Amino acid sequence: MLGRQQIAGVQNALFELFKNAHDAYANQVAVDYFEDFGSDGEGFLIIRDDGFGMTFSDFVDKWLVLGTESKAVANSPPYCPAGLKPRPITGEKGIGRLAIALLGEQTLILSRAVRDDGVQDLVVGLVHWGLFEIPGLNLDEIEIPVEVVSGGCLPNEDTLSRMRIKLKDCATSIQAKHPEANARRIIEQIESFQPDLSSVYGYLATTEDRKLDLIGTETGTHFLIAPSNPVIKLELEHEERESDYSFRKHLLGFAESVFEKNAEPRIRTSFRRWRPGDIRGQELLDPSTFFTREELLNQSDHFLDGNVDDFGQFKGTLRVYNKHYDIVIPWGGAGGRLTRCGPFSVNFGYVMGRPTESLLPADSYWELNRKLNYLGGIYIYRDGVRILPYGDYSFDWLDVEKRRNKGAGYYFFSFRRMFGAVLLTRARNGDLQEKAGREGYQQNEAYRQLRDILVNLLLYIAAEFFRKTGANAEAFELAQAEIRKRSAALERQQKQSATKKRNFTIALESFAEDIRTGLPAATTANLMRITQSRMDAAAQIKDQDKAAAALIRAEQEAISSLAQLRQKYTRKRPSGVALGRDLQRDWDAYVIERQKLETEVFSQFEQQVANTLGAVAEQARVYVDQRKRLEERIKYLANERKKDLAEAARNANATASDTRQTVFTITERARLALDETIRAIQADLNRTDLTGMDPERIENMRRKWEGQLTDIEGRHRDALTAARDMLASLAENLRASDGEAPAQIMEAMEERMLALEDQADEDFEMVQLGLAVAIINHEFSSSIKRVRLSIQDLGQISRRNNGLRPLYESIRSNFEHLDGHLNLFTPLQRRLHRARIRIDGKDIRNYCNELFLNRLERHNVEIVSTNQFLESVVECYPSTLYPAVINVVDNALHWLSSVSEQRQIEFHADREAIYISNNGPVIEGFDNQRIFERGFSRKSGGRGLGLFISAKALEAEGMALRLVEARAGYTVTFAISIAADGGKRN
């Protein structure tokens, strides 16, 4: 009853076990929940920590005893491992540990202790909580089997079987003494609970980064619970279904590392959910899911930080957007007496509810907004450990939302927009007592004072800094107005750009589709047939003059139709809009294809029309006046160009007229606003009797009216001045560049912004990749020496044992192959290997043959080398050259697998470069440069990093990786150029 009915829920029960692990000086506590475990689909729960554990007497005399003496009493301090800083104890009377009864029907407890006299033997206990539910039973009728396992081992099946028999005998005995008790289900569950500990711990060890077991000298306490409470699965399914953090929000942020300066979490927590078929469990308590110190200090729009003293008076700092204040907030409830709640610290960040009112960039805003929706609220930490349920947005313990519902503008704060904490200690805030069920603090005088102080603080800040009538609200109002104005302007610009980009994308896609289907060529061919038919018909006319005119007219109609066709397949790049990387690629591809279309189709059509006209005229003996023909051609073209220019002029004049009308509207609005203010002041003056009025009051009225006039005039004057400056700058740029500069400037600025955003993303990912490789390199370097020595030792042994020799040769060969593959990491580790060496062609050929031996055989690919290559020598960094060669050969092997003829890769060299050729698929012209861009790949599932990294690495050393014209007999050739300041060619 104490375990299952006192604790609010399964999350609270887990939280209590986290606290017990903290009190046992654990560095980490991990929960692994296996759904649908076993044939009956029941859950299996494992809870492990690496604390100092329980001895046999601790387990029997304390853990299994109700209402033990408080862990927190001064005359009985808990054990503290040598060399560790003492931890404040979070538990008290041992009721929290009984929360484990809420997590499942039966529990296998494993605990290995360490004390001053060393590591103890493993203590094993088996409890079925259903026995304690049988009514009319005395506790002394229940026997809990406890075993001690020595030798640093886990209990074997014999030990576990013996414990199950004892517990089952106990249940059978109870059933005999109490016939009314239905112990059949309990007996069946005891019999079915047969975990294979070696398999369980072996599997967990392969799926986690940190060791957490009880083998050898490892210490801690572990609970294996089955069947687990089905509510756990229901809670997790509800969280997944609702896409919220309804389960994990109670467990996140257990140890403080965000809200207190320089705080480090004493203990790491983990909860992994394993569903059938999972290779790695889903981690629910990833630290990045919770708030970070960086978000609190630098990504909140407003930030409060300070301390409340023994009398409830707050002193600290407040940041409103980018303006900082030193503030003191009095609390009148002290009455000159010390508070019962004691002194404490408090800080919280606040993020505005709309992105148009926030200083945060859009991506940062929405990421932090997502966390606030899940985890927003004011938390309470005592001695660095969270107190439930504070911080849960659904538990608004300061009535923030209740007040906000009365008036959002008046009370300002919203609980979900806040993230912060009240920081307490047991020493300073001892009168704050937790409820037995761990549902917050008892409603005593200390808690009421704590709450009143914080409510007073929020009311004061809202009134002084965020309410329109507040003494310090001007900075907030001005900053918010400026942010809104900027956001609105940016939104308009982005909306316009997005529309232009969308239309441009559709136009490019339609062009690409027509090119793929061959529509332009087919249309031109059909047009040629029609033109041929018209010219043939003209040649049949008897009258020579009429025949010549008909021929010229047929040519003119063909050229006119061609002009329409050219116009149809011409795409104009939108002015003043940055395309971005992907759209720029599509535009570059269009330019290439459009040029090919012009050269191979349209120009040839024009030439064919001219040739046909001459041939038909000669055959029919018709004289064509070339002057008249040319005049007709120029006249037609001039009319078309005039028509196009007139249309552009009309559009420009219409836009200019619209701009003029807009400026006129703004100026008229400003004039009317000022006139209306003047009339209002005059009306107020006419209604005011100044006779006998206090001169100070008259002066105040004068200042108020003058302020209104100055404010309205200043606001509109600033807006008109800004509009004038913008138009003046636009006019100047138009005069200087015939109209092109403004759009080019805007386009360049937007292009620069997009490039910087892309570069930031790339840099972040590359930093992560570099860190990962650095870690791999470090771990590999520190362990590979031992592996090499072991292989050498094995070689010595194998010389004396012929049976071991083949095994040794196989291990050595495969290890050397793996060692060669690890050289792929060298582009990112160049600074670790800075020695230039002489590398000849034979070295490169042999290296590639060894590295790709299996793939060359599997794909039937041959590597050939010219004599020039084998005799060539390059002096450079191997960590720069080898990875580039490897990447090119690796790509060649991939694409060669798709061709059926003889597959070959050739190495060639001259005094300028090394050439790597293959006879795989041709690289299309518009991909020639794109293949070196980060993220571009034609491979299925390719990441587009290989050639990008290689090219960058070579460029940094004064070398270059290029795609050049294919050598004779091959379809693709890459060149690694050797520059004077990079590698040296011999």
pLDDT, residue 663, reads 76
User: Which residues are bridge partners to 420 per DSSP?
Assistant: 348, 378
pLDDT, residue 796, reads 67
pLDDT digits (tens, 9 = 90+) for 242-299: 888 989 999 999 999 999 988 888 899 999 999 887 777 889 999 889 999 999 999 9
Residue 655 host element (H or E): helix 626-687
Tokens of 868: 């020039």
Strand 323-329 and strand 282-283: the pairing is unpaired
Give yes or no for a contact between 586 and 580, defined as CB atoms under 8 angstroms apart: no
DSSP 299: S
CA distance 810 to 482: 71
User: Which residues are bridge partners to 904 per DSSP?
Assistant: 862
Beta strands in 232-367, from DSSP E residues, in sequence order: 268-274, 282-283, 302-308, 314-320, 323-329, 344-350
What ranges in 741-852 are assigned the alpha helix state H? 741-799, 805-821, 841-851
Burial state string for 4-20 with b = 16 or more CB within 10 A and e = fewer than 16: bebbbbbbbbbbbbbbb
Mean pLDDT of 412-440: 88
Mean pLDDT of the chain: 82
pLDDT, residue 37, reads 74
Which of 885, 751, 743, 917 lies closest to 820, judged by CA? 885
pLDDT, residue 822, reads 55
Mean pLDDT of 757-786: 56
Which range of 152-166, 561-575, 767-781 scores highest in mean pLDDT? It is 152-166
**Cβ contacts of 821 within 8 Å, gap of 6 or more:** 851
Tokens of 401: 């939302």
DSSP letter for each residue of 135-195: TT--GGG----EEEE-TT----HHHHHHHHHHHHHHHHHHHHH-TTS--HHHHHHHHH---
Asked whether residue 831 carries a pLDDT value surpassing 60, the answer given is: no
pLDDT digits (tens, 9 = 90+) for 296-319: 999 999 999 999 999 999 999 999
Higher pLDDT, 105 or 5: 105
Higher pLDDT, 241 or 206: 241
pLDDT, residue 829, reads 43
pLDDT digits (tens, 9 = 90+) for 902-960: 899 999 999 889 999 999 988 877 677 778 877 777 776 666 777 888 888 788 778 89
pLDDT digits (tens, 9 = 90+) for 708-743: 787 777 777 776 776 776 777 666 666 665 555 555
Strand 984-985 and strand 314-320: the pairing is unpaired
% of the chain at pLDDT higher than 70: 82
Give yes or no for a contact between 263 and 421, defined as CB atoms under 8 angstroms apart: no
Using CA atoms, how far residue 304 sits from 15, 145, 327, in Å, is 29, 55, 10
Specify the 3-state DSSP secondary structure of 677: helix
Give yes or no for a contact between 453 and 314, defined as CB atoms under 8 angstroms apart: yes
Task: Tally DSSP H helices, then E strands, for the chain.
Answer: 26, 23
Count of positions (residues) in the chain:
986
Give the HSE-up count for residue 835: Cα atoms under 13 Å, Cβ half-sphere: 3
Residue 389, preceding peptide bond in cis (omega within 30° of 0) = yes
pLDDT, residue 628, reads 57
CA distance 318 to 339: 24
Give yes or no for a contact between 25 and 224, defined as CB atoms under 8 angstroms apart: no
Least confident of 53-67, 116-130, 660-674: 660-674
pLDDT, residue 756, reads 63
Mean pLDDT of 749-762: 60
Instruction: Band the pLDDT of 980: cuts 50, 70, 90.
Output: very low
pLDDT digits (tens, 9 = 90+) for 98-149: 788 889 989 999 999 999 889 999 999 999 998 888 888 888 889 999 999 9
pLDDT, residue 21, reads 93
Instruction: Band the pLDDT of 42: cuts 50, 70, 90.
Output: confident
Report helix angle 580-597 to 474-517, nearest 10.
30
pTM, two decimals, is: 0.59
Report helix angle 741-799 to 805-821, nearest 10.
160
CA distance 221 to 21: 8
With 0-12 / 13-18 / 19 or more C-beta atoms within 10 angstroms meaning exposed / middle / buried, residue 107 is buried
Instruction: Band the pLDDT of 821: cuts 50, 70, 90.
Output: low
**Cβ contacts of 977 within 8 Å, gap of 6 or more:** 912, 913, 959, 960, 961, 962
DSSP 336: T
Residue 107 host element (H or E): strand 106-115
Instruction: Band the pLDDT of 630: cuts 50, 70, 90.
Output: low
User: Which residues are bridge partners to 377 per DSSP?
Assistant: 419
pLDDT, residue 123, reads 96
Instruction: Band the pLDDT of 376: cuts 50, 70, 90.
Output: very high
